Amino acid sequence: MTGRSAAAKSALPGFLGVPVERHASIGSTNDEAFRRADEGAPEGLVVVAQAQTAGRGRQGRSWWDTPGASLLFSVLLRPSIPLPQCPLLALALACCVADAGTEATGAALGIKWPNDVLHDGRKLCGVLAESRVSGASSRVSGAPSTKRPAVVVGAGVNVNQTSEDFPGELRGTATSLRIAGGGNPLRPDELLPAILVRLERYAALAASGDGAGLWREVAGRLPKPGSEVAVVSGGRRIAGVVEGITESGALRLREPGRAEATVVSAGELA
């Protein structure tokens, strides 16, 4: 694999008893976590990079970051919940980032369905969950499977960027924890343990197969039933009233003039 640097074990506290692995530069932390999973790495492996050369976001997008100013990491999990519920782990990680970021900055951070972290309407973190069963990886999208997957959940957190650091096309939509906190720089090495300690209870629910418990933990961060939303999914704009949330975190939308609710598992809130 190109773009992979030699890993170093971190002095930071690990996750689920597994030491954090750090890289100066890497292609993708998700790809590296899967590579390590193929070698037999245990659940709880966390791969961290100061820079990614092939980072990616949801729906096939590339992920922009500022080397040294971002927190880029992926977590390897081996959950016992059904694969259709694994998207909840991406939402869980977004919740952990939002809560740890609020604690670090004092700023109110929110979750935008399905798993982005925002401040004042601008994005500061994206999360990507992918699964691999029998050596084939795919983005977690709710496809049914009876096999227990390796699930990698990765996050890119804008930590210390200033507004001038963002490319012109992102300045109106992106932000960072530093900006949200009033300009004070943060230490990514202190933020990561605060995120991981919060993730432990979600990982425990997933490992035990308690998908219902995991859903209850994160459902409060999803759009409320009765709220009106619009989602762009697959090039189509779907507008309607939220009728409910499925066990995988998908939205059940009641569109005007349609007899049955539309289930939307991926997309962007407009």
List, for residues 90-127, the tens digit of each pLDDT value. Answer: 999 999 999 999 999 999 999 999 999 999 999 999 99
pLDDT in tens, 20-60: 999 999 999 999 999 999 999 999 999 999 988 876 655 45
pLDDT in tens, 191-226: 999 999 999 999 999 999 999 999 999 999 988 999
The average pLDDT across 130-157 equals 69
Which residues, 6+ apart, have CB-to-CB distance to 67 below 8 Å? 25, 50, 51
For 41, the token pair is 């790495």
For 12, the token pair is 């930071």
Strand extents, DSSP E, 190-264: 228-233, 236-245, 251-254, 262-264
Q: pTM here?
A: 0.87
Distance CA 78, CA 92 (A): 15
pLDDT at 12: 56
Distance CA 125, CA 64 (A): 11
The average pLDDT across 4-14 equals 58
pLDDT interval class at 161 (50, 70, 90): very high
